[in-house]
Structure 1
Amino acid sequence: MPFFVDPIAAVSLTANGRTGITLFAPPWQDSDGEEWQGFLGDGAKIVLLGTADELNTWLGDNPDHDLADHPAWKSFANKGKAALSPAAKAHYDFDAVYELAAAEGEPETVSKLADTVDVAARIADCCEDGKLRSLLNGTREYALLVEGDTSYHGKDGAAEWSRLGDVIAESWERALVRIESWLRWEGSSAAAATAGESVAGKAVPGGASAADVVGEDGAIR
């Protein structure tokens, strides 16, 4: 899973050719001992802005957002705009999943893919999307990837990596459509993805292209 030092952190997400900045609060416990985690939202969707300046303005205009009641929100807000720029490792590119899975199963690639799928699963949990949660947490290959205990080296590891690639080729477009349905693009991040920037045409494991997957499995189910 991604490692977050702070109780609230700026993260960057890319989906369907668009990139935006939002905030994520990793799991914390409330006064009743109940565990929560959450993204910056407007009560219905995760909000993404194009720049730290835009995010800062949005927060000023929308004080009643979904993280306003977080126990660390006041101290986070006091850090000002400097806290709204994501760290280099806090970028999760859902469009790049095909390319990562098509590469060799080296540790850096596996780690980046695992973190990206893990963040997608956290969107499912935070948005209470049972179908997305079932797809990611209920699929053996995704679960093994995120758990981080699987080696993709050697003959057996290569076979496991290949099985994961097959699963991604068959199912990730469905996951991406569901993820996209929970994202609200604001400011400059709301610019429509231009042709060629979306997932169409990206490499998919097994020699297919993402365009082969779109339309067959792309509907929200």
Structure 2
Amino acid sequence: MRLQNDLISEFFDMKINGIGVTSLDQEMKMKDQQLVRVGSDVLGAFDDEVITALANTQDLIGAVLRVHFCLEEFLNIWCNKVTSNKDFFDFGFIGFDKKIKIAVKLGLPENLSVIFKLFNSIRNKYAHDTSAQITMEQLNDIRVKIDNLPNFGSQPIPKCDDPSFESLVGDKVLSWNGINISTKDRIVFLYLVFSMKILGSYVVEFHKRNIPFNYAR
């Protein structure tokens, strides 16, 4: 099964089909739309230039840094929405690890925060040693925790290592156990799946808090 929510592509279009992202009422409103441009409240996390570079880069360090940037934007979005601020962190530099702690204090689900921390630990390894190696043990730890996140929407997101689960990223088809898949490809694939599950969780969490949230341009 080809990954139907191709969140990373040249035009970054997302098919609205219920995979882990939409709530029931959103699915009903969007049922006649096949493609929706990702943006609105999550525009910062899906910056076109960053996503295009992430899809096209062959540089592992570059991919790690871009994924880290996108994930930081998700933390910003959580804090902004929960506190009704346009820019909650406008008072100066706050490190990624501190933003996770603040977001958790503001109600970010713990199962998401754990995965944010794992991605951050990989980024920090490279920040201190550009020759650092990302191990399969680290990647599998992230993969299992992403797989264990709840699914929202009418069609569940498959397990990352499901043989039929694959995604077209740029001009390359990625799957967890694909032929010649690199560490960089696995990082991108993990981020792709995690970003969908973040969106699904945000839809539910903000709905519970009666906070308006829109991810479609």
TM-score by length of 1: 0.27
Q: Which has the higher contact order (CA 8 A, sep 6+)?
A: 2
Bigger share in strand: 1
* Larger-Rg structure: 1
TM-score by length of 2: 0.28
